Structure 1
Amino acid sequence: MARPNEEVEALLQEYADLIAITGGDAFKARAYEKAARAIGGHPADISRLDADGLKEIPNVGRSIAEKVVEYLRTGTMAVVEERRAKIPAGVRELITIPTLGPKKAMRLYEDLHISSVNELAAAIEADALADLKGFGEKTQENLRHGIELMQRAGGRIPLSLAMETAEEIVAELSAVTGCRRCAYAGSLRRMKETIGDLDVLVAANRSAPFMEALCALPATAEVIAQGTKKTSIRTGKGLQVDLRVLPPDSWGAGLQYFTGSKAHNIRTRTIAVHQGLKLSEYGLFDAESGESLASRTEEEVYARLGLPWIPPTLREDRGEIEAALHGELPEVVTERDIRGDLHTHTDLTDGLAPLETMVEAAAERGYTYYAVTDHAPNLYMQRMTDEKILAQREQLRELDGTLGRMRLLHGTELNIGPDGEVDWPDDFLAGFDLCVASLHSHFDLNRKAMTRRLVRACENPHVNVIGHPSTRLIGKRPGVDADWDEVFAACARTGTALEVNAQPDRLDLRDEDILRAREHGVKFAVNTDAHSVLHLAQLRYGVATAQRGWLTKEDVINTWTLTRLRRFLRRSGRA
């Protein structure tokens, strides 16, 4: 069910990895990585393009375009197959471990004949890597942690991939004759950062047409079980989908029950029992008479229990029941509340689209304001200069006010150095409308040094937002080790916002940390960190994470009016 763009992106990225494993040209590997990102972020369906059309995509030259056409025509890419044949499958498995690069994976295979994640884990425990050059104690600890990350993720898939699959299935089943309602439930509806199985519900009088339709979908690779009340299939991407068909009158109760979480449902069922009631997926019933008291909508089920409707993103038994009983449930921020994006990139650095294209796409989203924040010079591979950023500022000022009501802000994403220093001197930073500061390297500093580094960045009067604060990549890289309560206190003290980064592989800060930071009085910015037009739509995942952290409009600075936002940014006397 992936777009052809995403299939080709994955294949080109694999080819880049295979080049690196075999000791090939590093520049060639980098070229394929860039092409992979560009194709993955291209808004149009590449399967409709010929080689000339593909060459119009940034970083896609004639050779790569021809290989893509070959794949789209035949389903294979000869150069990838040739490289795969030269490299043991076990080595390709090893490079999926966070922190293990292709060269070290090949050395493990050649020197110690290690060809699986389990074999590597056993070798580390047996101290078999001690004499292998480049695999010192620190490296082994990183590998051990990377394996733990993989094992913890298990068969779970990213939120965005599950959402794409769910929305396609819901659309297909909604079109089946007799469908009254159709929706996804479970952890996806609660917008957890990774998803195990996908729960889909249908309200209808007859179940058979829907069970048959699910089994017949192009995405269905395997039918696990097919019945009258529940059918389970597995997609080609390995995601299990469980479909349940409910009587229309039971829709609300079923949606509440199958949304979960388990802990939340235990609390609601306990409330029901104390009131002499019984709550199930079919409705809320009088325990003695069996009379149905509420079932058609979630709102009436919660109301009959004496509760307001609780947003699915809050249903984790983290105090939402108590807050609801005391009338203190937060009115969480929604996507409609976001007035602008404060962290985005263009092709001036590592983005895929030019400034005008990104700005036009933002205006189409109805934003009140929009910030362009390309990387600063200390992230050397981006080759930023004073002249380039000042020229961009002029270009942005010319565009400002030309796209309806949307105003443009010129910012930058600064790099937080090992000691908390940032790019550019104070007098140059004073020219920006806002500055996002982020960690991009030196992730292995000890807790004390990392805390000091982040606090110093917060204390810089030109830094308005700390971007993707923990730097984690879900399932690939853990967050940095810091005394987060000290960092949160510094943010509150200095008036520095923390970002909720909406990129599905980041979702950083994570919801648990948002809850803690909020207690310190921290303000937040929900941003996409967009590197392409398509990324702007990922805002939904950042907003959902903010909801899971109980954030309201008051907590999120980019829900504020431009006047109020500028006052917040002006704390250094700059904006």
Structure 2
Amino acid sequence: MLMVSRAENQEAADRFWELALAMEIKGDRWRSSSYLKASSSIEELAEPLQIISERGELRRIEGVGESIAAKLNELLSTGRIEALEAVRDLLPEDLPIFRDAPVLGLGAIAELVSNLDVRSVDALLRALDEGVLSTNIRIGEDAERRIKEWLVWRREEAAEVPTPYALRSAERVLTCMQEGGIVSRIELSGPARRKVAAVANITLLFASPTPELAIAKFGTCPEITELTVVERDLAVGKTSSGAGCMLRQVTEQRFALENFRRTGPQAHVDEVLSALEARYGPLSAEEGPFSTEAEIYGAAGQELVPEEMRDRGRPYDGVVAKTDLLGDLRVRSILTDGSINVEMMAEAAASIGHSYICLCDRLGRRVDGETLARRNDMVDEADARSPVTLLKGIEVNIAPDGKLEAPPSLLEDMDLVIASVNTKLDMGEDGMRARILHALDDPCMDVLGHPCGRVLGLRERVIQDLRPIAERAAERKVALEINAHPDRQDLDDNDAYGLYELGAFYSLGTDSACPLKPQDWDWAVSMVRRAGLEPQRMLNVLPPHALQQREWRK
């Protein structure tokens, strides 16, 4: 009974905290302060609110006057507060993350929402990456650092660190370990080598005549924030990405085969080793004279399978190659602080080898029609001298009723329209499906953006069964996005692979901001290759004029 009463009191305290935040966002500081005081008082109660209400003593709670008492009675009798429901759209998505984040008080959250349009955890990650929080007087540099560390900890606890971030940690450790000539060989192994979406740990295998010195050096790597295990031939530590890192000694003779085994997946390893043993008998204790994985596959009578394709089994010639993809169909030219970067994006795209990029900025409070018109003017000016073609794109929200939250006149001026669910993420599976299915009937919609709605390690996917959506999208010739941003990776390779048979088209984009990085595009390419997709269903193989004329939809 005590646990139930505390839960009910906490529920009421949370609702009034939300009211306080909504009022702070509106700029009504007096009401915000009143609701916040009531929330704190309710949270500290030792007695159930229901019992206090039945005695008619709600107004004896500190900070509870006539108006707040009426709202408490409404909540106790109906389970909701209409005044809160009327302003709920002001509140950010992923509200528990904002509330739980260290140093983000009510005022700072309101500042993020009102002045920076940071209304979700993915927008918060963007703002942190761009460094705009450190320059805000209500947040600052130290708070920005602590929020970053807390989000890393959340992902560490969820054992779901986006692999691109883990690989950056691995690269820094590898660089450190290769200095000084202590190791004769060191390589990445494990699932991260296969470029799975997220990992809990990184595995590094090394060979060295002095393993104890290599283990000692591992502990001095700046990327290792904490050592948790140290043995003669093995060490484990934490990295700045949140992923654990295991360093394990392997002899030179066993190195290739051990790395092959640890890279996995197990079914693929078993298949190759069974073929090898069928030809040559059981492996010896030294596990064969293999210096490379190519020799292992050759001994098994098989073709070498790239690491990122081993989950799908055998490679085949029809899988899309990097050279098939002409450009990135989602990059962002407008940053959180409102600055627009068009020419810098074009120069970076050319250095990566793109023929074109599509600037797909999200329509919202800070990026309105006027801002997009200014961006498009800059695109027209830059396109004449740009080394790559610059396509004008837009991302618009799909409203709860399934309508696109943008006037058709704005969308008709764009070369590519991505529509995504970015608000009201708690509608439930059936409601979310109906919402997206309705949106797919809009002729202005070219691409369904990040269809699952997940943010790795921080938000679960908001829709589980994509098949009805993929079927409707195939009928309407609306492409499904493979958003390769490390935080999303949505669609992932399993979804993309499983939906291919339904006739789906795909649009690949890094969702990167300035400056574009080659490794982001490399990761995007690995995602479509892991999915085993063929080029004829990828929008990215089309030349710019074919995209502008929507030839895949005809």
* Alignment-derived partner of residue 211 in structure 1: 215
2:129 is the counterpart of 1:41 = yes
2:333 is the counterpart of 1:346 = yes
1:430 Cα deviation (Å)?
Answer: 2.3
Instruction: Report the CA distance shift for 1:375/1:24 in structure 2 as closer, same or farther (over 3 A).
Output: closer
Equivalent residues in 2 for 1:83-232, closer than 5 Å: 154-177=158-181, 179-220=183-224, 221-222=226-227, 224-228=229-233, 230-232=234-236
Of 358, 370, 383, the residue aligned with 2:345 is 358
Q: Secondary structure at the match of 1:263?
A: helix
Q: Secondary structure at the match of 1:442?
A: coil
- Summarize deviations over 1:34-53 as a string: whole Å, max 9, x none: 798677434xxxxxxxxxxx
1:412 Cα deviation (Å)?
Answer: 0.9
Instruction: Report the CA distance shift for 1:218/1:282 in structure 2 as closer, same or farther (over 3 A).
Output: farther
Structure 2 Cα separation of the partners of residues 189 and 183 of structure 1: 9
Q: Secondary structure at the match of 2:181?
A: coil
Q: Secondary structure at the match of 1:460?
A: coil
The answer (yes or no) to whether the contact 2:153–2:242 under 8 Å persists in 1 is no
Instruction: Report the CA distance shift for 1:368/1:351 in structure 2 as closer, same or farther (over 3 A).
Output: farther
Letter in 2 for 1:447: E
The answer (yes or no) to whether the contact 2:506–2:538 under 8 Å persists in 1 is yes
Structure 2 Cα separation of the partners of residues 415 and 281 of structure 1: 59
* Alignment-derived partner of residue 463 in structure 1: 445
Structure 2 Cα separation of the partners of residues 191 and 347 of structure 1: 29
Equivalent residues in 2 for 1:208-287, closer than 5 Å: 208-220=212-224, 221-222=226-227, 224-228=229-233, 230-235=234-239, 239-279=243-283, 283-284=287-288
Instruction: Report the CA distance shift for 1:231/1:331 in structure 2 as closer, same or farther (over 3 A).
Output: farther
Note the residue ranges of structure 1 that are not aligned, 5 or more in a row: 1-12, 43-56, 72-76, 85-91, 99-149, 285-291
Q: Secondary structure at the match of 2:180?
A: coil
Equivalent residues in 2 for 1:377-392, closer than 5 Å: 379=364, 381-385=365-369, 387-392=370-375
Question: Structure 1 stretch 252-261 or stretch 450-459: which is displaced more?
Answer: 450-459
The answer (yes or no) to whether the contact 1:41–1:352 under 8 Å persists in 2 is no
Equivalent residues in 2 for 1:306-325, closer than 5 Å: 306-316=301-311, 318=312, 320=313, 324=314
Structure 1 Cα separation of the partners of residues 238 and 432 of structure 2: 43
Of 414, 417, 424, the residue aligned with 2:396 is 414
Letter in 2 for 1:222: L
Tell me how many residue pairs correspond in the alignment: 451
The answer (yes or no) to whether the contact 1:375–1:412 under 8 Å persists in 2 is yes
Of 523, 544, 554, the residue aligned with 1:541 is 523
1:368 Cα deviation (Å)?
Answer: 0.5
Instruction: Report the CA distance shift for 1:15/1:248 in structure 2 as closer, same or farther (over 3 A).
Output: same
Structure 1 Cα separation of the partners of residues 306 and 223 of structure 2: 30
Q: Secondary structure at the match of 2:282?
A: strand
* Alignment-derived partner of residue 385 in structure 2: 402
Q: Secondary structure at the match of 2:308?
A: helix
* Alignment-derived partner of residue 121 in structure 1: none
Instruction: Report the CA distance shift for 1:17/1:426 in structure 2 as closer, same or farther (over 3 A).
Output: same
The answer (yes or no) to whether the contact 1:514–1:549 under 8 Å persists in 2 is yes
- Summarize deviations over 1:142-171 as a string: whole Å, max 9, x none: xxxxxxxx89x6444231331111001111
Structure 2 Cα separation of the partners of residues 565 and 341 of structure 1: 12
1:63 Cα deviation (Å)?
Answer: 4.2
1:446 Cα deviation (Å)?
Answer: 4.1
Note the residue ranges of structure 2 that are not aligned, 5 or more in a row: 1-96
Of 301, 305, 310, the residue aligned with 2:296 is 301
Equivalent residues in 2 for 1:58-97, closer than 5 Å: 61=135, 63=137, 68=141
Structure 1 Cα separation of the partners of residues 127 and 545 of structure 2: 38
Normalised by the length of structure 2, the TM-score is 0.70
1:495 Cα deviation (Å)?
Answer: 1.9
Instruction: Report the CA distance shift for 1:563/1:410 in structure 2 as closer, same or farther (over 3 A).
Output: closer
The answer (yes or no) to whether the contact 1:345–1:532 under 8 Å persists in 2 is yes
Structure 2 Cα separation of the partners of residues 178 and 17 of structure 1: 42
- The percent identity for this pair of structures is 23
CA radius of gyration, larger in: 2
Over the residues paired in the alignment, what is the CA RMSD in angstroms?
3.8
Instruction: Report the CA distance shift for 1:342/1:355 in structure 2 as closer, same or farther (over 3 A).
Output: same
Normalised by the length of structure 1, the TM-score is 0.68
Letter in 1 for 2:295: E
Structure 1 Cα separation of the partners of residues 176 and 527 of structure 2: 27
- Summarize deviations over 1:497-536 as a string: whole Å, max 9, x none: 1111112121101222111111212121221112442577
Structure 1 Cα separation of the partners of residues 518 and 339 of structure 2: 12
Instruction: Report the CA distance shift for 1:96/1:189 in structure 2 as closer, same or farther (over 3 A).
Output: closer
Instruction: Report the CA distance shift for 1:517/1:154 in structure 2 as closer, same or farther (over 3 A).
Output: same
- Summarize deviations over 1:235-261 as a string: whole Å, max 9, x none: 466643222343444443232122112
